[in-house]
Chains A and B, each alone.
Chain A
Amino acid sequence: MARGPSDTIIALASGSGRAGVAVIRISGGGSAALLKGMTRLPTSGTGEAGGGVSRETSSTFPRPRHAVIRTLHDDQGGFLDEALVLWMPAPHSYTGEDVAELHVHGGPAVVEAVIGAALKTRLCRIAEPGEFTRRAFDAGRMDLTQAEAIGDLIDAETEGQRRQAGRLYQGEAARVFEGWRGLLVSAMAALEASIDFPDEADIPGEINLTALEPIEALAVDLEAALGDAGRLASVRDGFRIAILGPPNAGKSSLMNRLARREAAIVSPIPGTTRDVVEVRLVLAGYPVWVADTAGLREAADAIEAEGIRRALTRAEEADLRIWVSDASDVSRETSSTFREGDLRVLNKADLLNGDSPPLAGSEDVFVVSARTGAGLDPLERRLAQIVRDRLETDEAPLVTRARHRELVEEALAAIERGLEGARIGIGAELVSEDLRLAARALGRITGSIDAEDLLDRIFSQFCVGK
C-alpha cells in the first residue's frame, strides 16, 4: 500500500501496558467512515446529530467535541469494548484533520483488538512515530518551535524538562525570537530608508549610529541567551558531574552509592576503571549524569594513559567536579585542576578511627564512607541544591536545541560583524546586509521570513515620496 500523508492513521496515544483507560487516536479523511463502521452506523448519509438540542442516542454520529458512549464492534459485529468517543472534525483538531479519539478500557488485549479491527477495515494504517505531530505542523497548526516542543514534552521525564518544554510549546521562545527579529527589522528600516530615500528631508543621510543602539543591546542579549543555552541544554540533556581523583580513592564505589546500583567495577587494583562510565540519576527533578573516571596518576600503560586523558576531558566538560581522595591517605591528592565551585570528598571515613582528616569541616568538603554509606546524605543534598541553583531560574528558556543554537550563533556573528563595520565606517548597505543575514537566521528558527516587513516599517516611520 502506498503511504501518503493523506491516508488515515491510527495509534495508541496513551502509554502501553495495563491502565484504567487507553486512548486510541485516529486522524485523517477516513476517520468518520471508520468511526461509523466501528459504531455500526450506516456509512452513507451524514448521520450527524442536528442542532445542539437533539438527544444523543447510540444511533447518531457524535456531535463535534462532545464525549459520548458507544459500543465498538469488529467487522463481524462482534463486541470489542464500550468506549468513550470524541469526534473532532477538521480543521479544529490537533492535526487539523478529522480526528476521532476512542477511550477504551486499558488492557493490552482490548487495545490490540480495537486497533486490529480498525486496520482490518483497510480505512487506516498504523501511524509512524511522531506522525500526528508532524501532521499538525504540516497543517500549520503550530510553528517549528512548538512542534519541537511537543517532542520535548512527550519525552520529558523530569519536572524541569516538562516546565521547559511547556514554555517552548506556549510559544514563549518563538515570541522572543520574533521580538529580536523585529529589532533588527526596525534598525534596518532606518538604514534602508537612508539608502532608498536619500533625498527625503527627514531621513538621516549617514549611518545612524543611534539606530544601531538597540542592536548593540540585542547582541548582549543574544550572548546571554547563548550562555544561558549551556544551562538549558543541561535541562534537556542532563547536568554533568565528573568524579575525579587518584586511583583507589573510591571513586567507582562512590558512584555506585549515588546510583544505588553497581554501574562501575569496584576493585582493589588501581587503574581498574579505564574508561568513563556514566550513570543517570534525577536530582531535584533534573536529569543528572554522573561520570566515573580513571584515576589520575602517572599511567602504567598506554591504555591507562588514554583513560586518564579521557578523564581529564570529561572533567573539563563537566558542569560540576567531585574530587575524591582517601581520607586516610590524603598525601596522594592530585588537586592541580581543582576549581572554584568543585566539591571535595574524603572517602573511607570508616578507616579513620575517629581522627578528623585535614580540611574536614570546611565548606564543600564531605567526609564519607562509600562502604558504609556514612556522610552520603549531606553530599546528596548538596548536589541537589547545586543542580537546582544552576538549572532553575524564572526566566523563559530560549535557546535549548542545537538547531536554535546554531542559528542564534549565526545571527550573533552577523550582528557583531555589522556593528564592527558601522564603527569603522563601512557602507550602510554592508551593515544592512549583515543585519539582514542576522534577521534571516532568527526568522529561520520560527520559519517566518518576510521582506515586506521592512518596507512597512519604512513607510510607517518616515514621510517618503515625492
Chain B
Amino acid sequence: MITNTFDVIVIGGGHAGAEAAAAAARFGARTALVTHKLSTIGEMSCNPAIGGLGKGHLVREVDALDGVMGRAADRGGIQFRMLNRSKGPAVRGPRTQADRQLYREAVQDILREYPNLTLIEDGVEDLIVEHDRVAGVIGQSGRSWRAGAVVVTTGTFLKGLIHIGEKRIPAGRVGEAPAIGLSDRLYGLGLTMGRLKTGTPARLRSSSIDWSGIEMQPADADPIPFSFLNDRITVPQIACGITWTSAEVHAVIGDNIHKSAVYSGAIAGRGPRYCPSIEDKVKRFADRDKHQVFLEPEGLPGSEYGDTVYPNGISTSLPEDVQEAFIRKIAGLERVEIQRFGYAIEYDYVDPRELTPDLAVKKLPGLYLAGQINGTTGYEEAAGQGLVAGLNAARFAAGNDPYILDRSRAYIGVMIDDLVTRGVSEPYRMFTSRAEYRLTLRADNADQRLTEEGVSAGVVGSKRREAFHVKRSSIDAARERLQSLTLTPNEARAQGIHVNQDGKRRNGLELMGYDAVDFAKLRAVWPELSDVTPQVAEQMEIEAQYAGYLDRQEADIVAFRRDEDMRMPADLDYRAIGGLSNEAKDKLSTVRPATLGQAARIEGMTPGAITAVLGYLKRAAKKSARG
C-alpha cells in the first residue's frame, strides 16, 4: 500500500538517521526515512572505522538497545582491535576499520528488514508546521508527507561549505549538494544556531604507496564482535600501516600555512581540538619534529575501495598543490597518487541547549534532532543520538512519555546530558573521561545495563530479548555458584592460592579479587565450573576485580539519582525565583533543565543558585499540597 502519512519521518540517511528510523520502526511506528540518495544510506563521510575509546562504548550501547551499528560493523569490519587491551576492562574500547562498501550495504540490508520502514529518495526542503507543531515534510521533488513526529539528522549538510585553500564549494560532503531550505526553516523557528567545522585528509591510491619500509599493525588474532548477538567475526582481517611526518614535511606546511583555509581566517566555525588538522599540529606543537600517520585501507583488497587508503592524522584544508607536496615528503608516500584531496567543511549546527534530554526541540513539539546537527562529530555519537531521537519521536507520536537515559546509565546519557546542558563550543566527541561512572558503564556490560530497559521502552525486539534473557540467567547462575563455592585459607593454600591465614572461608568471587586468581584457576579448583562460557567467565572476573570500586561508585550513583529525581516543571518561571542572579536566571531559562541535577551541571551555575531553586521547588510543592 502506498501511503504518504507516517507516524515518524526521519530526514537524512547517515548514521543518526539509520538508527533513528530503525528505532522508530522497532517501536512499531509507521516510519519513513527520506534521504538525498538511497545508495548513500550508511555512508561513512570520513574515517572508515567504527568504535574506539568511548566510541566503542556507544556502539555497544546502541547494540544493547537493538540498534543497527554494532551488527553492521561486525559485517563490515576488516581490522578489529581492542584498544587499551592491556588496561582495565572499563577503559577498553572495541574498534574496527570498516570496508566502506560492506558497511554501507550492511546498514541498508538491516534497514530493509523492517517491514514498517519505508525508504524514500528525496531532499527535504521544508517542514510542514500546523497548530504550532510539526506535521510533516516537503521534498525538493514537490512531494510532501505527513507525520506525527519528524527527526532531522542532516549531518554536515546544513549550509555546508567546503574549503580547499582559497576555493569554496557549497556542499554537504564532497560531490553532494548542501541543504539550504531546511536550514532556513530552523533559523525561522528562532533556534540558536552556529557554525562548526571539521576536516578530512586526502585519499591515497594504495598501489602507489611504497609499503616495503612501513611498519604494519595487524588486527587482533581473536576479533571480538561489537554485537552481543554475534559470537565471532567472519570477515577477513587486514593490517594497516604506520608512518611519520618529518621536519621536512612540517617545513612545507609551515611555508604555506597562510594558504590554509583555516589560517587565512576564511573559516568562522570552530574545529575540534582533539582532531586537529596537520597545519594546526605543526603550528601549535612546533617543538615536535614528527607526527604519526596511520595508513588505513578503506576496503578489502580487490573490492570497490580496496585501492584507497585513508591517511589518518593529516586532515588539511591546504590547496591541492601544497597537499601533494607535503604528502609526498612522507616516508613511503614519495610517489603516491592522490585520488581526492583533503578539505575542511563548515556547517550549521543547532545549539543543543534548544533540546530536552529526549532530543526534542523545545520550541516545536514533534520535532527531534540527532547527530552532527547537534554539534557532535563521529558516527557513533550520531548513532547513539539517532536511536534516542527515533525512539522518542515514535513514543511522542503514539502519545507515550519520553524515554530518557541519564548519566549513570549509559555513555549515551552522558553525551546527551552534556549536549543539552552545556551546549558545545567545538564539535563534541565522546571520551571515556567524560563518564564519571566509567567503572560501571563498561562496553562489556552494556547489555546488562540497557537491554532490559530497552525492552520496557519498546525499542528491543523479541530475538534480542530472548538472547539476553538466556545470557542473564547464565550470569546469575554463575554468580550464585561462585558465591556458594568456598575455600578455607588452608584449602586455598593447597591449591596454590595465598590468602591471609585468618580462618575465614572465601567464596569464588572473593578469591578472584586476588591478582593471581582468574576464572581458569577457579575452574582448576572446581571442575564443575567448566560449563561456564568465556563471556560469562569474563563478566565474573571483572565484577571481582572491580568489587570495592563498584560499591563506592554505586553509593555515588544513588546520591546522583536523588538530584536527578527532582524534576523541574517545564513551565517553571525562573524570573519569579527570588535570590537568583540575572545570569543564573538567563542560564536556567536557556537550558530549562529537566531535573535539579541537570540544573546543577549547567556551566557556571553556583551552588547558591541551586539552593535557591531547590527552596523554590520545595515551597511550591508544599503550597500545592496544601491546595
Interface, chain A (partner B; CB < 8 A): 2, 4-7, 28-29, 91, 95-97, 134-135, 137-144, 147, 188, 192, 195-202, 427-430, 432-433, 436-437, 447, 450-452, 454-455, 458-459, 463-466
Interface contact A138-B579, CB-CB below 8 Å:
yes
**Docked-complex contact A429 and B578, CB < 8 angstroms:** no
Most buried by A among B288, B556, B608, B609: B608
B598 interface hit (Cβ, 8 Å): no
CA distance A4 to B291 in the complex (A): 61
B262-286 interface mask toward A, CB cutoff 8 Å, 1 = contact, 0 = none?
0000000000111110000100110
Contact check, A429 vs B580: say whether CB atoms are below 8 A apart: no
Question: Which residue in chain B gives the minimum CB-CB distance to A2?
Answer: B623
- In the complex, A275→B310 CA distance in Å? 84
Is there an interface contact between A466 and B549, defined as CB atoms closer than 8 Å? no
Contact B436 A451 (CB under 8 A): yes
Contact A463:B288 (CB < 8 A) given known A140-B608, A195-B432, A196-B431: yes
Docked pose: A30 CA to B37 CA in angstroms: 63
Q: How far is the CA of A200 from the CA of B313 in the complex (A)?
A: 10
Closest residue on chain B to residue A147 by CB atoms: B608
Complex contact A198–B606 (CB within 8 A): no
Contact with A along B298-327 (1 / 0, CB 8 A): 000000000000001100000000000000
- A447→B292 CA distance, assembly (Å): 41
Contacts of B313 in A (CB 8 A): 466
With A140-B584, A196-B432, A465-B274 as given contacts, are A447 and B88 in contact (CB-CB < 8 Å)?
no
Residue B466 is within 8 A (CB to CB) of chain A in the complex: no
6 tightest A-B contacts by CB? Answer: A6-B578, A427-B88, A447-B607, A138-B579, A5-B578, A138-B612
Q: Which residues of A contact B579 (CB under 8 A)?
A: 5-6, 95-97, 134-135, 138-139
Interface pair A143/B434, CB less than 8 Å apart: no
Complex CA distance for A196 and B56, rounded to whole angstroms? 12
Asked, given contacts A135-B579, A143-B606, whether A427 binds B53 with beta carbons under 8 Å apart, the answer is: no
> Are B582 and A91 within 8 A (Cβ)?
yes
Q: Tell me what chain A mostly uses at the interface: helix, strand, loop, or mixed.
A: loop
Chain B residue at minimum C-beta to C-beta distance from A3 = B619
User: A96 vs B275: C-alpha distance in the bound complex, in angstroms?
Assistant: 43
Can you add 14 more A-B contacts, CB < 8 Å, to A137-B608, A195-B432, A447-B608?
A6-B578, A6-B579, A91-B581, A95-B579, A97-B579, A138-B579, A138-B608, A143-B607, A198-B83, A432-B433, A450-B603, A451-B434, A465-B273, A465-B274
Known contacts A5-B616, A195-B433, A451-B434; decide if A140 and B578 are in contact (CB<8 Å).
no
Residues 571-608 of B at the A interface (beta carbon under 8 Å): 576-584, 603, 606-608
The answer to whether B611 and A433 touch across the interface, beta carbons within 8 angstroms, is no
Q: In the complex the two chains form, is A430's CB within 8 Å of B88's CB?
A: yes
Question: Do residues A144 and B607 form an inter-chain contact, with CB atoms below 8 A?
Answer: yes
Q: Which residues of B contact A432 (CB under 8 A)?
A: 433
B72-107 vs A: 1/0 string, CB under 8 Å?
Answer: 000000000001100110110000000000000000
CA distance in complex: A455, B288 (Å): 21
Q: A137-B608, A436-B436 are in contact. Are A464 and B274 (CB under 8 A)?
A: yes
Known contacts A451-B436, A455-B431; is A6 also within 8 Å of B577 by CB?
Answer: yes
Would you give 11 A-B contacts (Cβ < 8 Å), ordered by A?
A6-B578, A188-B433, A195-B84, A200-B292, A201-B291, A427-B91, A429-B88, A429-B439, A451-B434, A454-B433, A465-B276
- A-chain residues with CB within 8 Å of residue B292 when the two chains form the complex: 199-201, 466
